[in-house]
Amino acid sequence: MVFKRRDRRPWYKAIADFVWPKGGWARGFHYIKHRLRRLPDPPHRIARGIFAGIFVTFSPLFGLHFLLAAMVAWLMRGNIVASLLATFFGNPLTFVPIGAMSLNTGYFLLGLNKLSEEEVQRSLGGKFVDAGEDLWHNFTAIFTHDKMDWSHLAVFYDEVFLPYLVGGLIPGAIFGLGGYYISLPLIKAYQNRRKGAIKAKLAALKEKTAKAKPKSTD
């Protein structure tokens, strides 16, 4: 495998690196910014990809953000690589505020009681756990005499998934547009500056070659 690590990390090291990558999140941010600026595509296509990546981070479909970002970028004729890089807008440092914002917006749009940030942090994880236990129990019930129970999954859908899905559309679009309009002029300026630097190097090389060329004698 080309992209397979030579040194396999223990599972706890992989989790630790996900929560706090080597070099810190600031270094990761600068790396992503550097990669986005150097993508070989017009600025508007890269900016559309950034919009797509940020937009899908407000979706509750965790584990599918890469796929969703690529699909949205493809539909918008944006840069797919930029969309994948932009999904890192959603990370362990931002998931809690993203979740609180999406859930509270969803609760407001659906006419439900608003959640406080403490309730989001405390009860959201528990509902994920309960839903996971229901899935595992119902899977094992296929091979045993236990009865299937969908009650926790129903609560998870009504109180978490649906409000998160509906509520994430508005802040996702707002932050996505912010990423688009902030990145577009920056990428344009960087690409123009890079083109100017390349032209200057070519002109200098051409001048140097002309000086080094021996003059013909009559």
DSSP assignment of 45-91 equals HHHHHHHHHHHHTTSS-TT-HHHHHHHHHHHTT--HHHHHHHGGGSS
Residue 207 — very low, low, confident or very high, per pLDDT cuts 50/70/90? confident
Domain chopping of the chain, boundaries: 13-187
Which range has the worst mean pLDDT, 59-63, 131-135, 196-200?
A: 196-200
C-alpha 211/C-alpha 207 separation (Å) is 6
Average pLDDT, the chain: 78
State the amino acid at position 217 in one-letter form: T
Residue 114 — very low, low, confident or very high, per pLDDT cuts 50/70/90? low
pLDDT of residue 15: 44
Residue 122 — very low, low, confident or very high, per pLDDT cuts 50/70/90? low
pLDDT exceeds cutoff 60 at 147: yes
Max Cα separation, the chain? 104
C-alpha 54/C-alpha 48 separation (Å) is 10
